């Protein structure tokens, strides 16, 4: 009896990786999926990469392992050997890390190769031919990555050379148009796939500037610090503290969820308005005054001459009421936005 051939697929849950899994599965290969989750995934509670990957793995009847990345990923974000893309996205180093980890998982689980939904030329930084070669070499996975969507544009991989998979059943898609993938999804009866617009916040210039600011003051941020970067409007306090202003009810709740001992939480007294968090090692009275003005300025009481703002130190029984002018915040919004 011939041994069952096994492969590990990098499954983001997006259309490309779904198609790639299906094309390999159709050849009788047993596929196990890996889904890497970074704190920079642009996910919401209603739609996340993890959920999409789970849905896809259930649809295909394959095992899924979700791999959260933090410490090792932050090293890559802070010091990428191959530089950044348009924001703070270290795509080459990120892919090298993921392929290395996928390779370790492959060897530990008796699989023979890796499958990805990469399409040549689809992403400007990591899916150029030269970048793909660098990633393969640096991850130690040269020849062991099968890309069913673009396979015929590459030299045959080892699995293709050895006949473990049939290269003639693979495709030669390239570029940024998604039309070929959408057509293929219809042919393969893959209907319910998420919009490809999600993605990684590191490519967003505004988020990248915010992250740079955080890393300048806190070179070793916690995961909570990073998650806080994804919420609200951000301002810089004079002591190096960060002031985070929730923009709606959902963000106010998130700000509250992320606060911890030592943080200050501010809300307007008697007015609907934002939940505001102040975080820093040396939060001083000037920071709280600024944060209180912002709290008042973004509240429904912003037309009042003055209003009260409650400032609570999380984890301690301390509450201060500051009486501030909401109008002071107008100049602040511009000056200390960060």
Query: Residues interacting with ligand SF4, by CB under 6 A?
Result: 38, 89-91, 94-95, 126, 200, 202-203
Answer yes or no: are the C-beta atoms of 59 and 90 closer than 8 Å. no
Phi, psi of 66 (to 5 degrees): -90, 130
Q: What is the 3-state secondary structure (H, E, C) of 201-232?
A: HHHCHHHHHHHHHHHHHCCCCCHHHHHHHCCC
Q: Which is nearer to ligand SF4, 73 or 235 (CB)?
A: 73
Surface-to-core class of residue 303, CB atoms within 10 Å of its CB (0-12 exposed, 13-18 middle, 19+ buried): exposed
Tell the smallest beta-carbon distance from residue 93 to ligand SF4 (Å).
8
Rounded CA separation 255/205 (Å): 22
Tell the smallest beta-carbon distance from residue 193 to ligand SF4 (Å).
18
Residue 338's nearest CA partner among 219, 238, 191 is 238
Residue with tokens 């999380």: 314
Tell the smallest beta-carbon distance from residue 80 to ligand SF4 (Å).
9
Q: Which is nearer to ligand SF4, 133 or 183 (CB)?
A: 133
Q: Which is nearer to ligand SF4, 39 or 297 (CB)?
A: 39
Tell the smallest beta-carbon distance from residue 94 to ligand SF4 (Å).
3
Residue 152 token pair: 């015929």
Q: Which is nearer to ligand SF4, 90 or 159 (CB)?
A: 90
Residue 195 token pair: 């919009």
Rounded CA separation 141/121 (Å): 20
Residue 232 token pair: 């609200």
Q: Which is nearer to ligand SF4, 39 or 237 (CB)?
A: 39
Tell the smallest beta-carbon distance from residue 100 to ligand SF4 (Å).
13
Tell the smallest beta-carbon distance from residue 82 to ligand SF4 (Å).
11
Residue with tokens 């106010």: 252
Q: Which is nearer to ligand SF4, 193 or 298 (CB)?
A: 193
């Amino acid at each position: 009896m011939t041994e069952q051939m096994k492969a590990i697929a990098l499954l983001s849950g997006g259309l490309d990786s779904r198609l790639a899994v299906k094309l390999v599965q159709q050849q009788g290969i047993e596929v196990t999926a890996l889904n890497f989750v970074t704190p920079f995934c642009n996910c919401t509670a209603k739609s996340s990469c993890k959920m999409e990957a789970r849905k896809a793995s259930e649809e295909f009847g394959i095992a899924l392992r979700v791999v959260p990345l933090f410490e090792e990923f932050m090293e890559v974000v802070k010091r990428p050997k191959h530089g950044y893309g348009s924001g703070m996205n270290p795509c080459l180093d990120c892919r090298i890390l993921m392929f290395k980890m996928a390779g370790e998982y492959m060897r530990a689980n008796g699989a023979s190769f890796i499958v990805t939904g990469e399409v040549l030329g689809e992403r400007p930084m990591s899916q150029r031919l030269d970048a793909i070669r660098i990633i393969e070499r640096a991850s130690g996975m040269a020849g062991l990555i099968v890309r069913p969507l673009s396979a015929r544009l590459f030299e045959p991989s080892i699995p293709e050379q050895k006949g473990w998979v049939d290269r003639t059943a693979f495709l030669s898609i390239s570029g940024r148009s998604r039309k070929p993938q959408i057509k293929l999804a219809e042919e393969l009866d893959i209907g319910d796939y998420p919009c490809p617009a999600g993605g990684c916040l590191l490519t967003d210039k505004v988020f990248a500037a915010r992250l740079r600011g955080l890393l300048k003051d806190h070179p070793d941020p916690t995961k909570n610090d990073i998650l806080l970067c994804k919420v609200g409007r951000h301002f810089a306090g004079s002591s190096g503290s960060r002031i985070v202003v929730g923009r709606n009810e959902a963000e106010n709740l998130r700000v509250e969820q992320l606060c911890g001992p030592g943080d200050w939480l501010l809300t307007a007294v008697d007015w609907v308005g934002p939940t505001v968090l102040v975080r820093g090692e040396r939060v001083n009275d000037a920071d709280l005054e600024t944060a209180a003005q912002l709290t008042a300025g973004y509240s429904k009481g912003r037309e009042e001459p003055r209003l009260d703002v409650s400032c609570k130190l999380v984890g301690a029984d301390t509450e201060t009421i500051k009486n501030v002018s909401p109008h002071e915040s107008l100049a602040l919004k511009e000056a200390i936005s960060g």
